[in-house]
Structure 1
Amino acid sequence: MAQEIRALFKDEAHEQETMPKNHQKRFLKKLDAALPVEKPKFNWLKIAASIVVLLGMSFGAYNFFKQDMPVPNNVVTQSVETKTLGDVSPGLKKVEDYYLASINFELSKIEYTPETKELFDGYVVQLEELDKEYKRLSVELTQSGPSELTVNALIDNLKFRLSLLYRLRAQLKELNASETKVGEGLQSI
């Protein structure tokens, strides 16, 4: 049987077809026509993006490695250390700490959602104004010394901030409750 296979291959070797001339060239030409290779184009958008990235990285590196510039002699830097209620008396320190802790606790409990953003932002603006006033009163306390009016104004400021947060929390609860009722009403329909 091994002899027969060898004989078949010998006979086929003589009958083997040959490729026509220029077959490879014609094949490559047809391939190029079917799948043309585009030459890279000069794209201005890529250059502009590279420049933007380069500028951004340069700016970031500048800020990162920037050393503090020396302050000219004619400019006086003034760091005013303001007094707080705790500096006036230990009893007032307890009052101040109580209100500040309560304010921070209330702020941490408030749940911010996109639906309540406008309401929340309005209260934040009011709280920022009260914080500015508190700082101004602290500077006044430092400069003119403790007076009954200044101390009472500082305590009233803290009370007002805390009451604003209580009011905000109550309005958020009402808003969430009304949204829940509306949602339940829509589900029953």
Structure 2
Amino acid sequence: MSKDIREIMEDQPSKDISLSENHRNKFQERLLKEVHQQPKKRSFLWLQVAASIVVLMSLALGYFGMDTKPSELPSEKPTKEVSLGSLSPELKSIESYYINTINYEISNLSVDENNKEILDGYFAKIAELSSEYKSLTTELSTKGVNDEIINALINNLQLRVQLLQRLKKQLNDLKNLNLKQDETKNI
């Protein structure tokens, strides 16, 4: 319970307290000693050890963490992928025409047990042409616009459409042949 210091002092008998003659000089000397006294140096040895460990670990991770060989590092800025459609509006319409035709022809194909082998063979050829188309597009991006590459891209699209048209014709012939065989069996 806190008490007021004034109350405590009132309860004390008053004494005549006198200070020594050199009291002021002694007080100043003590004060100056404390001010000029060097503060104790703190030991930061643990901090130095921790910093050394961090530096060593970062060097080790930097050295051992490098899995890439200098030959694998990119020497140039990555080039923007250029497609046939991004060169001009005319080429874009040609490319979209052929791609839409290819997708339409594929969507109209009917798959059954009789024509599965034929479809697989044609789709393998179309997949080869598609991968060739991607490589030609990459070549167009790296080597720049070239009439030969543009013609090769258009020819690739045309070949895919022609393959799908041949496939459609062959499937129709196969279907007609099966219908004739069914008719002769029924008679």
Tell me the TM-score normalised to structure 2 length.
Answer: 0.59
Task: Answer whether contact 2:136 2:149 (CA < 8 A) is retained.
Answer: yes
1:71-82 matched pairs, under 5 angstroms: 74-75=67-68, 81-82=80-81
Distance verdict in 2 for CA 1:183–1:154, change over 3 Å: same
Task: Answer whether contact 2:79 2:142 (CA < 8 A) is retained.
Answer: no
- 5+ residue gaps in structure 2? 1-64
Partner of 2:93: 94
1:7-156 matched pairs, under 5 angstroms: 74-75=67-68, 81-156=80-155
Name the SS for the 1:115 alignment partner. Answer: coil
Code of the aligned partner of 1:157: N
**What is the CA–CA distance in structure 1 between the aligned matches of 2:95 and 2:171, rounded to whole Å?**
27
The structure with more helix, counted as a fraction of residues: 1
How far does residue 87 in structure 1 lie from its aligned partner after superposition? 1.3
Distance verdict in 2 for CA 1:73–1:110, change over 3 Å: farther
**What is the CA–CA distance in structure 2 between the aligned matches of 1:138 and 1:77, rounded to whole Å?**
23
Rg larger in structure: 2
**What is the CA–CA distance in structure 2 between the aligned matches of 1:73 and 1:112, rounded to whole Å?**
51
The total of aligned residue pairs comes to: 117
Name the SS for the 1:114 alignment partner. Answer: coil
Code of the aligned partner of 2:152: A
Distance verdict in 2 for CA 1:93–1:171, change over 3 Å: same
Task: Output one character per residue of 1:40-61: Cα deviation in whole Å (capped at 9) or x when no partner.
Answer: xxxxxxxxxxxxxxxxxxxxxx
- Identical pairs, percent: 37
**What is the CA–CA distance in structure 1 between the aligned matches of 2:92 and 2:160, rounded to whole Å?**
17
Distance verdict in 2 for CA 1:140–1:118, change over 3 Å: same
Partner of 1:158: 157
How far does residue 145 in structure 1 lie from its aligned partner after superposition? 0.7
Tell me the TM-score normalised to structure 1 length.
Answer: 0.58
**What is the CA–CA distance in structure 2 between the aligned matches of 1:178 and 1:73, rounded to whole Å?**
64
